Amino acid sequence: MFVPFEYNIGGLMGLGEYVLLEVIGQITDVRDLYNFLCINKKTYGLKDHQRFLSVIENCNFQDMFKRALIVLGQGNKTIVNLNSTDQEKMEINSTVLDLRTRIKDPNIFARRIKKLILISYTQKVDESKNFISGTVFYINGLNQMKAELCIFPLNSSQIYIDKSNEWFSRVLLPPEDVQFLDIQSTQQFSLALTDDSKIWSRGIKDNGTLDKESQLIWRLNPNFNYKDGLIPSSLGPSKIRQISISDINSQAPVYDFDGFIELTDSSKMKQKFTDSRQPYGIFGYYHVEKHIPSIQQFLTSDGTVMTLGSTKAPGDVIRYFYYEPLDLDYSEGGQIERIVEVENQGGIAYFTDSGKVITFIQKDTYFSPRDDLLGQEEIFCQPFPVHKLKTLLLVDQDYFVFLKKDGQIINISRSNRFIRDVTDKIAILANTDEKAAGMKIEDYYYGSGSGFYLFN
């Protein structure tokens, strides 16, 4: 945290109000904002400026979003593909979730989105017609779990709406006083983590099998909740700090770790690995810091990529799993700083501190990563520093698509490295109600067949 004497007060007096407001707009901690305002009378007077409230939104609503654009399936590729046909563009099925227009709660935090998932369900109209009903579960700015019915334009006739409302009426949410930190999902089941380390679930029975009869009902999951919030683990009674669902069809975010992790088999809820006596358990002497669950890889503090391996003795029916370093010799000496798994065909990109990007399309996510790398990698220099990268949206046979931290989405051709800005293509879809003009794309993630663009 900054304190007043750390600011260059002597040079500050020559700055105008608008410059100082720009400085305030970059502050993301309320205590830092308070200290900045208390430097002198000039900075304190900024609180009365007409732009002050809008400028400090970045501080008060960090990691909260005003609007979400939800795009189903193939439409995520069509939007950013410069060669998409008019017919393909017409088939994009997307919708906008903006709590400011849907929620009447006067509390502004109730009208902000922290994290959301989409649960879709295929319904029959008659023997020849099907359509998709969608329910969005989200965590709001008050850390409550809420739900909204999602009507997609291609399924907006009255019969579709009636059937969707009937399906949505089955939703059963946790109590409002339960505080949630995270929510994640595959199409089959979902998990949500509370601030007291408990896990609520949807679509899972007590024995760990899928529950197809109660797809919209959330309940406290007994498999993960024990006395005093502690669960048995190889390191003794522990609290759950983070959750991550391995779904090979999802682009999950990257998670921070201190080096210890308990991995379970989602189909049986049984322990999959056992920690050894080495400093970092199943990772031996490698200090794991980041987890990319959908490709079962980890990034260590020294830039080593740990990947899943397995072995089976001759005549043995049991396969034993372990983690080992992935040899990325072709990183040309650069240390891996970021790993991004993308939706298309298991595409993976490794970003080095030297500005290199290593991409490939992996056939087998789990058991033979080294074999699948051969002959499929491509190395190129990214056109901007890695610290300006937010995420990689797509690795296609013909192009790469990046989201930068400034909200710009760029398409880079594989063949000639030609760069094109495709931000407007997403902005047009997000502004169908003409209430998103001037908004910036803050984040993107892909899960359960849907892409989520988050705006402020």
pLDDT, residue 331, reads 53
CATH code for the domain of 123 = 2.130.10
pLDDT band at residue 7 under the 50/70/90 scheme: very low
For residues 138 and 34, membership in a common domain is answered with no
Average pLDDT (203-223) is 84
Longest dimension (CA), the chain: 80
Average pLDDT (45-70) is 75
Distance CA(141)–CA(359), nearest Å, equals: 36
- 194-198, 328-332, 435-439: which range is least confident on average? 328-332
Is residue 275 predicted with pLDDT exceeding 70?
no
pLDDT, residue 367, reads 34
For residues 9 and 105, membership in a common domain is answered with no
Distance CA(409)–CA(403), nearest Å, equals: 5
For residues 13 and 78, membership in a common domain is answered with no
Residue type present at position 285? Y
User: What range defines the domain where residue 26 resides?
Assistant: 1-60
For residues 277 and 230, membership in a common domain is answered with yes
Of all residues in the chain, what percent carry a pLDDT higher than 90? Answer: 14
The mean pLDDT of the chain is 75
Split into its structural domains, the chain has a count of 2
pLDDT, residue 258, reads 42
For residues 279 and 374, membership in a common domain is answered with yes
> What is the pTM for the complete model shown?
0.72
The answer to whether 291 and 254 are in contact (CB under 8 A) is yes
For residues 219 and 98, membership in a common domain is answered with yes
Is residue 204 predicted with pLDDT exceeding 50?
yes
Average pLDDT (231-252) is 60
pLDDT band at residue 249 under the 50/70/90 scheme: very low
pLDDT, residue 313, reads 65
pLDDT, residue 373, reads 42
pLDDT, residue 171, reads 94
Is residue 322 predicted with pLDDT exceeding 80?
no
pLDDT, residue 332, reads 59
For residues 39 and 151, membership in a common domain is answered with no
pLDDT, residue 252, reads 39
Of all residues in the chain, what percent carry a pLDDT higher than 70? Answer: 71
For residues 118 and 70, membership in a common domain is answered with yes
**115 vs 225 pLDDT, higher one:** 115
pLDDT, residue 14, reads 55
**377 vs 208 pLDDT, higher one:** 208
Is residue 237 predicted with pLDDT exceeding 80?
no
